[in-house]
Amino acid sequence: MVAAKKISKKKLKEPDEFITFTERTFLFVRKHLREVVIGTSVVVAIVIALSLFQMWEKRKEAEAQVTFASAMEAYQKATSSYGETTGQGLKEALGKLEEVAKRYPRTGPGKLSYLYQGNLHLRQGSYDEAIKAFTTFLDKGGQEKLLRAFATEGLAYAYEGKKDFAKALEYYQRAIESAESLPMQNAHLGAGRCFERLGKREEALASYRAYLKAAQKSQESNMVEHRVALLEAKK
C-alpha cells in the first residue's frame, strides 16, 4: 500500500494564486458594492436611453416624411406650370414647409424643407428671406452635391433680384464649380447676365456660349443666341 504523500507546512501556507485573486475580487466587490451597483445601473441606463433616443428619432423621421409629403403636394400645386399660381397657394405651401422645419429640425425632411422654402421666397420676390432659407439649408442640409449646387444657385438668383450683380456672379460661379460634371446651364446663363451688367462683354459671351452648349433647343436658347449675336456685333 502506497503511503499518503505528506504535505509540508510550508506548502500548506503557500497561497493558490487563482483563489487569492478571486478572493480579492470578492472582497473588493463586497467593500464597494454600492459603487459597483450604481456604476452598473448607470451603464444600463445609458444603453436604455440611447435605445429610446434612436427609437424616438426613427419615429420622428417617419412623422416628418408624412408631413413633408403633404407640404410637397401643396408646393407642386402652387408652382405647377399647368395650374394657376396664386399668392394664397404659395403662402399655404410655404406655411407647411415651415411647419416641417419647425417640428422636425433634426430630420432629413426638416432640413430639406429649407431648400423649397427658398424657392417659394424667390417666387414671391422676398429675396432676403430666400437668402436666409438657402443659407440655412447649406448649413444644415448635408453634403449632397446637386442639392447644394441648387441652393447656391438660389442664392445667386436672390442676389441678382436685389441688383447685387457682383455677389450674384460669385454664387453662380460657386454653383457651377460645386456641381462639377452636373449640368448647370441656368447658372451659366445667370453668370452671363451678371457679367453683362458689370460691363464684362467677353466673360458674358463665354458664359452664354457655355449655356448654349449645355441647353436644349428652346425659346430661351433662341433668345440667348440672339443676345450672343448682338454682343459679338459690338466687337
pLDDT band at 17 (very low <50, low <70, confident <90, very high): low
pLDDT band at 192 (very low <50, low <70, confident <90, very high): very high
Q: What is the pLDDT of residue 208?
A: 96
Q: What is the pLDDT of residue 120?
A: 96
In the predicted model, what is the mean pLDDT of the chain? 83
Percent of the chain with pLDDT over 70: 72
**pLDDT surpassing 80 at residue 108:** yes
Task: Looking at the structure, give the CATH architecture of the domain made up of residues 44-142.
Answer: Alpha Horseshoe (1.25)
Q: What is the pLDDT of residue 181?
A: 73
User: pLDDT digit string (tens) for 114-131?
Assistant: 999 999 999 999 999 999
Mean pLDDT of 129-139: 97
User: pLDDT digit string (tens) for 209-231?
Assistant: 999 999 989 999 999 999 999 99
163-235 CATH fold? 1.25.40
Highest mean pLDDT among 12-26, 30-44, 79-93: 79-93
Region(s) of the chain under CATH 1.25.40.10: 163-235
User: pLDDT digit string (tens) for 144-164?
Assistant: 988 999 999 999 999 999 999
pLDDT band at 234 (very low <50, low <70, confident <90, very high): confident
User: pLDDT digit string (tens) for 64-90?
Assistant: 999 999 999 999 988 886 555 668 889
**pLDDT surpassing 70 at residue 43:** no
What is the CB-side half-sphere exposure of residue 87 using CA atoms within 13 A? Answer: 3
